Structure 1
Amino acid sequence: MVRSELVTRLATQNPHLYERDCEAIVNAIFDRIEDALAAGNRVEIRGFGAFSTKNVRGREGRNPKTGESVVVAEKKAVHFKPGKEIRLRLNPELPDALPELRRAG
């Protein structure tokens, strides 16, 4: 699902809202998540998962076109850890699956 599909689904499920308002809501949520991650904070959405940042070490890489060695700088990457509910919904065969989640999948 892409952002526009999310906006359309939200507008369909909430006919009292204009699509442009749904787009503003989705953008506001994503902007807050981005701002929190940029500030080094962790973002947890209960029942869904948690977003955090991790440092990726700098390394020596290769330019695939020329084969020349290049230095790849250290950087930050977004890490997502799914919550228990989503893990169980994706893997209903797990023994610790809750009965209500097994039926929902």
Structure 2
Amino acid sequence: MTKADIVTQIYYKSKDLPKPEIATIVDALFEVIKEKVAARQTIYLRGFGNFFSKYRSLRKARNVKKNVEIIVDPYHSPAFKPSQEMIKKVKNETAKISQKSTRKAR
């Protein structure tokens, strides 16, 4: 699913807002998420999940082509942790899909 697909889905559900305005809102939402995670702030979206910056410490790695050990500097990486509500929804939908596919196979 692309950002355009998300805009279209919201458009069909809202019916009140024009598509360009929805696209602007979606772009602004994603921009705020990027800015806050880059600033090492956590964004809590109840029923959906948390966006946060995860610290990765200094570590050793290996350059396989040259067979040389290298040091990877510490860095922050964006991360997402889904809420329990979202996990349950995905599990239930997955179970429904797998039940449908096993019925068709019989």
With the length of structure 2 as denominator, give the TM-score of the two structures: 0.72
The structure with the largest alpha-carbon Rg is: 2
Task: Tell me the distance in 2 between the aligned counterparts of 1:2 and 1:65.
Answer: 36
- 1:65 match: secondary structure: coil
State whether structure 2 residue 62 is matched by structure 1 residue 62: yes
- Greater mean deviation of Cα atoms: 75-84 or 13-22: 13-22
Whichever structure has more helix as a proportion of its residues is 2
Indicate how the Cα distance of structure 1 residues 65 and 46 shifts in structure 2: closer, same or farther if over 3 A, else same. same
For structure 1, list consecutive stretches of 5 or more residues without a partner in the other structure.
Answer: 93-105
Identical-residue share of aligned pairs (%): 28
Q: Secondary structure at the match of 1:66?
A: coil
C-alpha displacement of 1:79: 2.5
SS in 2 for 1:9: helix
Q: Are residue 25 (structure 1) and residue 25 (structure 2) matched?
A: yes
TM-score (normalised: structure 1): 0.72
What CA RMSD, in Å, does the superposition of the two structures yield over aligned residues? 1.9
- Where does structure 2 lack aligned partners over 5 or more consecutive residues? 93-106
